[in-house]
Structure 1
Amino acid sequence: MIDKRRLVSSAFAPKIHGPVTYCELGMSDSTQRFLFDDTDIRGEMVSLTDTYSHVLAKHPYPQPVAQLLGELLAAASLLIGTLKFDGLLILQARSSGAVPLLMVECSSAGELRGIARYDEAQITADAGLRELMPEGMLAMTIDPAKGQRYQGIVGLEGDNLAECFSSYFATSEQLPTRFWLSADGQRARGLLLQQLPADRIKDAEGREASWQHISTLANTLKTEELLGLDNETVLHRLYHEEPLRVFEPRALQFRCSCSRERSANALVSLGQEDAVQLLDEHEGNVVIDCQFCNQRYSFDAADVAQLFAGGGSQSPSSTRH
């Protein structure tokens, strides 16, 4: 019998043995944190449907590219929960192959956007990460609202993105962290496990044994289970014998951070001479497209003159002379 008490992430609930305590998901896009009471290990699951659909609707991605982009969206959603900061997490995977770029941004508020560049002529239906992104590199950038930007880079040397992210944490001397990621063009899902600083288990041998035990159980999770089952069922199948606490889900959503103001700032950064030259080259109208959401921002001669006069990015009134 499953206890349906609601747990909140701001406070721990009593220890629960056997089947997990779980609150029903009321949203299609969310992350959900869980904690193993007897070990120093935390976990998180993510489910993306609407956000994933919004991202894929912006460009006609082939299925293998849509799958990689979904996995990267899931990874970003899981990672943002491990970082205690106000700002933006940016994941970029670059390669010399058919997919030269995958890019996802996730804000600390749970707002996501993503894009991929690809050469469809080089893509086969069953292509995986190694075929699509040879000689690839993965960069993780943390861009806080206040403070210094940080970036870490690792090679795309795994068979899939989950292995690459797990390797990133293994080589960065951070807390041991494992990922399981899946996407099928309709739903993107992920599971994260992370070892916490020593508290309940002090000795290194005991910590390693508990980490291997929890990770080995997660390795039994099949792709169809991760994609097709809800969090409650997945966690019960994996950890029904472990004392586990599960917390309230945290909502995620698609939102593009582009704006007319940011596009105007890009024009200003060129300098007035170059901006005017662009106007001449484009018959008096410069259009800036957002690659993430396809929004278009148009600037004519009056707009550009206003920008460099310090008048802001809003279009001049039609009655203004």
Structure 2
Amino acid sequence: ADMSADSITPFGFESLPVKGALIHLSRSWRRMLRDHAYDALVTETLGHAAAATGLIAQSLKFDGVVTLQIQGAGALQMLVVQCTSDLDVRGMASASPEQAATNFAELTAGAHCAVTVDAGERPYQGIVEIDDTSLAASLEHYFARSVQVPSHVALIANSEFAAGVLLQQVPGQAIADDDWQRLHFLIETLSPRDFEGEAGLELIGKLFAEDDVRVYEPRRVNFRCRCSARKTEDVLKMLGEEESRAALAEQGRIEVICEYCGHRRHFDAVDVERLFADNVVPAPDSVQ
């Protein structure tokens, strides 16, 4: 069994003030793709986002959810990936059937990207300025500007796996420019072949062969959706009584499909009655 698939392996350098992590998603990634028919470019971009969101969640000391979201009006209309502090991940994308893009710049033309960290109190949202070259480059700018932690990000994905490496300078400790550039060059050499077999400890050792690297215990990543009957009912309430009844009259029942996990929930006339029964406000003098 491939122990390193669907995990994040944190590591550090003995003689450099740099901490890192390697993510390798395989089964959880294929589950995320299961109910969708994305083209190769959307698949790759969602995979990069899934790997990146896991790496961000791993890098933070928090209890909550990280959401990476891209919203656009062009070829890519919406992309959302969420990862909890327990490394439960889910994600989806929706692309325009009319507009096909051939590269990341075209796909995200005019789009906005943000990273939200919600740890219960007040969610913190950081705007990610999209760099035309890649999501990885966009996130490097985000870490440098919003988080003020110089970082290197390498992301790689196809329909089989989503993976990546995040390297971050330890705040307050100096690193020589040529060392920092050398590490960037090393993670840029990652290729799909690196993720065909075991891609944990061995890969880290191979990438940074010249450095003393300390590798820590890998953490499991699971695909897990947080949709529920209650949340689905909230969607119908937002849709409103009139719209819900119209849909019911037209189809006999309402089917709500979760865009993250494909779970189908059905509401018939009785369910809709129950949902909107609370909307009746009794007159103050009526005897109930």
TM-score, normalization by structure 1: 0.78
| Structure 2 residue 109 is the aligned partner of structure 1 residue 134 | yes
Measured on the aligned residues, the alpha-carbon RMSD in Å equals: 2.3
Partner of 2:12: 35
Between the two proteins, what is the percent identity of the paired residues? 32
Which runs of structure 2 are paired with 1:12-91 in the superposition (5 Å)? 26-91=3-68
Partner of 1:253: 222
Give the superposition deviation at 1:149. 0.9
Aligned residues: 275
Partner of 2:261: 293
Secondary structure, aligned partner of 1:294: coil
TM-score, normalization by structure 2: 0.86
Partner of 2:158: 184
Partner of 2:241: 275
User: Which segment drifts farther, 48-57 or 113-122?
Assistant: 113-122
Give the superposition deviation at 1:93. 1.3
* Paired residues of 1:105 and 1:112 also in contact (CA < 8 A): yes
Which residue identity does 2:160 align to in structure 1?
Q
Give the superposition deviation at 1:147. 0.8
Secondary structure, aligned partner of 1:282: helix
Secondary structure, aligned partner of 1:172: helix
Q: Deviations over 1:102-122 (max 9, x none)?
A: 211111111111111113453
Which residue identity does 2:5 align to in structure 1?
S
Q: Which runs of 5+ in 1 are unaligned?
A: 1-23, 311-321
User: Which segment drifts farther, 238-247 or 70-79?
Assistant: 238-247
| Structure 2 residue 126 is the aligned partner of structure 1 residue 152 | yes
Q: Which runs of 5+ in 2 are unaligned?
A: 279-288
Match of 1:302 among 241, 252, 270: 270
Q: Deviations over 1:237-263 (max 9, x none)?
A: 332221211011111111111111111
Give the superposition deviation at 1:285. 3.2
Give the superposition deviation at 1:163. 0.7
* Paired residues of 1:47 and 1:187 also in contact (CA < 8 A): yes
**Are residues 167 and 225 of structure 1, via their aligned partners in 2, closer, same or farther at CA, if it must alter by over 3 Å?**
farther
| Structure 2 residue 149 is the aligned partner of structure 1 residue 172 | no
- Separation of aligned partners in 2, 1:136 and 1:308: 37
- Separation of aligned partners in 2, 1:119 and 1:268: 27
Give the superposition deviation at 1:131. 2.0
* Paired residues of 1:88 and 1:108 also in contact (CA < 8 A): yes
* Paired residues of 1:279 and 1:286 also in contact (CA < 8 A): no
**Are residues 118 and 281 of structure 1, via their aligned partners in 2, closer, same or farther at CA, if it must alter by over 3 Å?**
closer
Which residue identity does 2:255 align to in structure 1?
V
